[in-house]
Amino acid sequence: MTDEFQSRFPVGTTLSFARYMDIALYDESVGFYATVGRAGRRGDFLTSPEVGPLFGALIARRLDEEWLALGSPETFVVVEFGAGPGTLARSIAFATPECGSALRYLMVERSAEQRALHAEHLDGWMGDLDAAGVDSFVGGHNPGPQFASSPIAPYGITGVVLANELLDNLAFDIVRHDGAGNFERLDVHHAEDGLEFVVAPTEVPLSLAPVLSSAAAGEWMPLQELAVQWLTAAIDRLERGVVIVIDYGATTAEIAARSEMGWLRTFVGQERAGHPLDAPGGCDITADVAVDQLGTAVRPTIITSQQQFLERLGIAQLVEEGRKIWTGKASAPDVAALRARSRIGEAEALLESGGLGDFVVLEWTIGMTEAPEGSPENLR
């Protein structure tokens, strides 16, 4: 543990796991995301946008669907939360969506280090904005596509709020119940010889108690209050449109049933890292998103797997198109042909069962729009 981390968490003190995780991931001087951590092939973990441009091309189709469903508004705002290094925005720009002329795409990212990467290779870049800048960006009438980043998100928007692999990274507590309505929490104590978990009695929010109680007594599980608060705020931001959350997720009972808290994971340099108290600030800390905890705020309009979501948006057609381009140019391939060929491998990774294909896609349709035609039925 670094001296700087010790100064934030002195010997003899105790923090909730959520507070500990927030410092370990996001503190401006010692947090993993504020210093070294990031998504990507050369980063610490591979997310769908980082697999290649195919994912962004399909998200661009979903944005077009929503833009059309909203009546093709002149200004169409997309707020991507937890944008990391900005790879998804670049792929969406590259896909030249139909909604482009109306598009105001704001990457809301907590880490200034990551926001500093957003301008790279992005035409229509409008800067890293403060609150006033965000208001004029989303209210502007100049033709898009326009891109910007900020730590602050706007309200009153017509468009899409999007979060890929954000919610699994929002700080959570760790709780269990005894089957008789009593809860305990795992806190983090800074003892003389290092950090250790300690158990303390706790209260849980009344709204979440039934879902938490659906897990087997005695099993530790994540209590994701911040994720629920994020969702409530995301829905409030939209006048009309859709909130789309993509992440690894399961019900609270399913998560709690994983042996030895297998749902609590750490990553660094593409590898699973050690115990979450071993190297604070030196690794990512994450958990499966409890979809039923989110559902206590507002029930999703649709839940699908990432595989179903991408298949509905035409991943097979894009791969086939790529295959034809590659075959036509295989004897003298150019960059476009190589990119077309790479769709085959990208699709395999994005649809893989037991991997990204099993991620959940949750959508909350707000205001006047309807769920897009052909959407599968709610699965849960």
Ligand X SMILES: C[S@@+](CC[C@H](N)C(=O)[O-])C[C@H]1O[C@@H](n2cnc3c(N)ncnc32)[C@H](O)[C@@H]1O
Nearer to ligand X, 157 or 215 (CB): 157
Dist CA 80 CA 181 (whole Å): 38
Specify the residue, 47 or 224, whose C-beta has the smaller distance to ligand X: 47
DSSP bridge pairs for 304: 361
To ligand X, the closest distance from the beta carbon of 303 in angstroms equals 19
CA dihedral 167, 87, 103, 59 (to 10 degrees): -70
Q: How far apart are CA 247 and CA 47, in angstroms?
A: 10
By three-state DSSP, how is residue 164 classified? strand
Give 25 or 337: the residue with its C-beta nearer to ligand X.
25
CB of residue 21 vs ligand X: minimum separation in angstroms?
A: 11
Nearer to ligand X by C-beta: 34 or 102?
34
Q: Give the shortest CB-151-to-ligand X separation in angstroms.
A: 7
| Preceding omega of 145 cis (within 30 degrees of 0) | yes
Smallest gap from residue 108 Cβ to ligand X (A): 5
How far apart are CB 38 and ligand X at their closest, in Å? 7
The contact set with ligand X (CB under 6 A) reads 33, 39, 47, 49-50, 81-84, 108-111, 114, 164-166, 169-170
Q: Listing from the earlier edge strand, what are the strands of the sheet with 284-287?
A: 271-272, 264-268, 284-287
Q: Name the minimum Å distance from CB 41 to ligand X.
A: 11
CA angle 128, 132, 134 (to 5 degrees): 50
Q: Quick one: 92 or 108, whose CB is closer to ligand X?
A: 108
Angle value at C-alpha 38, between 35 and 42, nearest 5 degrees: 115
Distance of CA 234 to the CA centre of its chain: 13
Min dist CB 277 to ligand X, Å, is 20
Distance in Å, CB of 368 to ligand X, minimum: 27
Nearer Cβ to ligand X (313/337): 313
DSSP sequence for 279-291: STTSSEEEE-EEH
Nearer to ligand X by Cβ, of 164 and 308: the residue is 164
Q: How far is the CB of 180 from ligand X (least distance, A)?
A: 35
Is the CB of residue 115 less than 8 Å from the CB of residue 156?
no
Give 95 or 170: the residue with its C-beta nearer to ligand X.
Answer: 170
* Encoded amino acid at 364, one letter: W
Please spell the DSSP secondary structure of 73-134, one letter per residue: -SSEEEEEET-TTSHHHHHHHHT--GGGGGEEEEEE-S-HHHHTTTTTT-TTEEEE--HHHH
Residue 50 or 363: the one with the smaller Cβ distance to ligand X is 50
Are 188 and 277 within 8 A, CB to CB? yes
CB 1 within 8 A of CB 280: yes
Length of the chain: 380
